[in-house]
Amino acid sequence: MLKEQNIAAFTEGFPFPACTVNAEGKVTGVSPRISEVFIYDSIEDTDIFILTGIRYKDLLSLDERETPMIINRNEKYFRIAAGPVSEGDEGQLCVYFIDVTQQEIYRRKYDGEKTCLAIVNVDNFNELLNSNSEEKRSGLTSDIDKTIRQFFARNAASVTKIKGEQYLVVLESQYCDKMIETKFPLLDSIREIESESDFPVTISIGLGRGGKNLTQTEQLAIEALDLALGRGGDQVVLKSPEKREYYGGKAQAVEKGNKGKARIVAHALIRLMDQASKVIVMGHANPDMDSFGSAIGVYRFAMQRGKEAHLVLNYYNETLTEIVNQAVSSELYDFIKTEKALALVNEKTLLVIVDTHRPSYVESPELLEKAKELGSDIAIIDHHRRAEDAIQGAALPYMESYASSASELIAEMLQYVTDKKNPITKFEAEAMLAGITVDTNSFAVKTGVRTFEAAAWLRRAGADTATVKRFFQMNSQAFMLRAKCVANARFLSDGAIAISVLEGKHVDAQILDSQAADELLDVRGVRASFVVGTTSKGRTVVSARSLGQINVQVIMEAMGGGGHLTTAGAQSDLPPDETVDRILEVLLEKGHITPADMGIEETMEEREIADAAKEEEAVIARGGESFIKMDAEQVEETLAEIQNEAGRENLIRKAAESAEAEEEK
């Protein structure tokens, strides 16, 4: 290892800024031109992470990075390079600061001037016009148009109206970044426009950026808009070749008044069935009443067309025992497992997936993959908001996030293919009504006029509400377990959020979670509830519910799940206690709770750390230094790595002296 005098000699002759760093991350020597990077009189014995925001271990792996590491210091940009001081001495590193200010300025200018394309869509435009008087319509459309144009004009964008409810916007990437920083306030401005409708005025924006050319950027914008509309509207989806980002999504999806689409989809499904040799139906894994009820409805569809049909059901929980036993005893339905389904599927098979559109959630992912490989037709009927990993290439994708349930969608479609000669059975009507009941929490949430119309049609078809209620009965042990879960709930944010854990492992954990979460919403003041449980297979499941003020979908998406604004869920490999911690972290990030709600009490040491960080930021600001901003967790981690606290104090003191001297000049 080089001695101190040798280190000084090593750095003395460098014609550019450089410093040596030991294995502890401390600066041991500097070149004469280091002042071009840092304004301090001396930085020796200071942690390199405090100076650059780069950890020692990251310096060792700079060569493995695909993009160079660049820092902004002293109003200049420097590319960081590092290597051992001498062969065989991997502890001592020499860190080089290569001035790339001009290149970086040109690069940032080039990137900032790249073209982005946005497609703005006024949600539910026809329903909006039809629900307003003639006098109000012209003023309403004018207000929407004016608000959109003024917002983008402030961002130097070109706006072209391509049809009644859509606009094409061309803007530079730098202005796109500004809109991202402000979280797209246009969404709120549009929502504040007054109308005579019983739902708010909202827009959806698909924003494409980073394409190789304008054609690819336009395609990204189209795909982003489809995703925004599929997720219920009132949001911005930004899509680039590398990632997708979501903003907004505060409003509930608006029910469509016209049933024309349901009729069109029903006839499209008939054509697909008529062309197929057989029909295989499946819902999602761990099926609930809606998944099972909608699958039974599709099975009836196939029977009406005289087609051979099969329903994939590998496993079901105790909650479905009553309804499944009744279906089996009727001998009308052929229940099969994945093994038999894989043997039956061929290129002429129609695979119908209900109550999910995500490949990882289906009852049999292997069946889905084989159907794709064979080129079989696939139809999807779902009511969940569109997810990023949606099944691609479906011949008939019917996803309506406004609907209460998949059973509601199927019930609407069945009305166009059944008649007195070919009615649905009493059991089928009850199965679909049970599906609607469970997803609406007994018609308490996410219900519209069409929900009740579908329920009324099922009632006329013979559904008995008493029988439906019997489907939901549970044993006394499960009832007591759910009651205990509700009683042990923890209330946060002045009682606005409830969170609880279902004790032990249970076959019906997913069902019990959802029921407990629904019950917690009955507590006065609660706006959202989260219940965590563990299945008999050791899988952690989460059910989230809200009354609409809090979007539980985005919270569950952060957990790898999804759903609706008011009803969502997720599955996790983490144990329940860690899953609860993760939910709390997401709630904290979204601003729904405070650190105090998480039980975080600031110790004297943490307070001193925070005060030191504030002092350091103030000193740096006065000295003209541009330090990387760190949150509390990063500051704490940084301090844990600094073994010599005196070095930190020395850095702050000397920076302060330098700043004061600069001010005197």
Give the number of other Cβ atoms within 10 Å of residue 530's Cβ.
34
Closest CA to 553 of 271, 232, 272: 232
Structure tokens belonging to residue 100: 């790339």
Is 180 in a helix, a strand, or coil? helix
Task: Write down the mean pLDDT value for the chain.
Answer: 84
CATH number of 4-106: 3.30.450.20
Residue 195 CA, chain-centre distance (Å), reads 30
Give per-residue pLDDT as tens, 240-270: 988 888 888 666 555 565 567 888 899 999 9
Which residue has better confidence, 386 or 99?
A: 99
Starting at the edge strand found earlier in the chain, the sheet holding 18-21 runs: 27-30, 18-21, 89-99, 76-86, 70-73
Going along 110-252, which residue ranges are E strands? 115-122, 158-163, 166-172, 203-208, 235-239, 244-248
Instruction: Please tell me the distance from the alpha carbon of residue 606 to that of residue 242, in angstroms, as a whole number.
Output: 38
CATH number of 483-598: 3.10.310.30
Three-class DSSP labels, 513-535: HHHHHHHHCCCCCCCEEEEEEEE
Give per-residue pLDDT as tens, 148-201: 999 999 999 999 999 889 999 999 999 999 998 888 999 999 999 998 887 889
pLDDT of 90: 61
Residues, the chain, total? 665
Answer whether 230's CB lies under 8 Å from 246's CB.
Answer: no
Tokens 């975080």 locate to 600
DSSP string, 572-618: ESS-HHHHHHHHHHHHHHTTSS-GGGGT----HHHHHHHHHHHHHHH
Answer whether 379's CB lies under 8 Å from 353's CB.
Answer: yes
Give per-residue pLDDT as tens, 194-234: 988 878 899 999 999 999 899 999 999 999 998 888 777 88
Question: Which class is domain 113-248?
Answer: alpha beta
Answer whether 295's CB lies under 8 Å from 282's CB.
Answer: yes
DSSP string, 17-60: -EEEE-TTSBEEEE-GGGGGT--SS--TTSBHHHHHS--HHHHH
Instruction: Please tell me the distance from the alpha carbon of residue 234 to that of residue 250, in angstroms, as a whole number.
Output: 7
Give per-residue pLDDT as tens, 134-153: 888 889 999 999 999 999 99
Among residues of the chain, what percentage have pLDDT more than 70?
Answer: 85
Tokens 């005289």 locate to 306
Q: Residue 548: CB partners within 8 Å, gap ≥ 6?
A: 252, 565, 566
Instruction: Please tell me the distance from the alpha carbon of residue 493 to that of residue 309, in angstroms, as a whole number.
Output: 51
pLDDT of 245: 85
Answer whether 276's CB lies under 8 Å from 396's CB.
Answer: no
Residue 513 has pLDDT above 80, yes or no: yes
The answer, as to whether pTM is greater than 0.85, is no
Residue 457 has pLDDT above 90, yes or no: yes
Delimit the domains of the chain by residue range. 4-106, 113-248, 260-471, 483-598, 604-664
Residue 104: exposed, middle, or buried by beta-carbon count in 10 A (0-12, 13-18, 19+)?
Answer: middle
Phi first, then psi: give them for residue 440, nearest 5 degrees.
Answer: -105, 5
Domain 260-471 identical in fold to domain 483-598: no
Among 1-5, 400-404, 545-549, the least confident range: 1-5
Closest CA to 456 of 423, 432, 489, 422: 432
Give per-residue pLDDT as tens, 23-53: 888 988 888 888 888 888 788 888 888 888 8
Which residue has better confidence, 6 or 54?
A: 54
Instruction: Please tell me the distance from the alpha carbon of residue 408 to that of residue 452, in angstroms, as a whole number.
Output: 9
Tokens 């917002």 locate to 151
Residue 423: exposed, middle, or buried by beta-carbon count in 10 A (0-12, 13-18, 19+)?
Answer: middle
Question: Which one is the CATH code of 260-471: 3.40.50.720, 3.40.640.10, 3.90.1640.10, 3.40.50.800?
Answer: 3.90.1640.10
Among 363-367, 435-439, 588-592, 593-597, the least confident range: 593-597
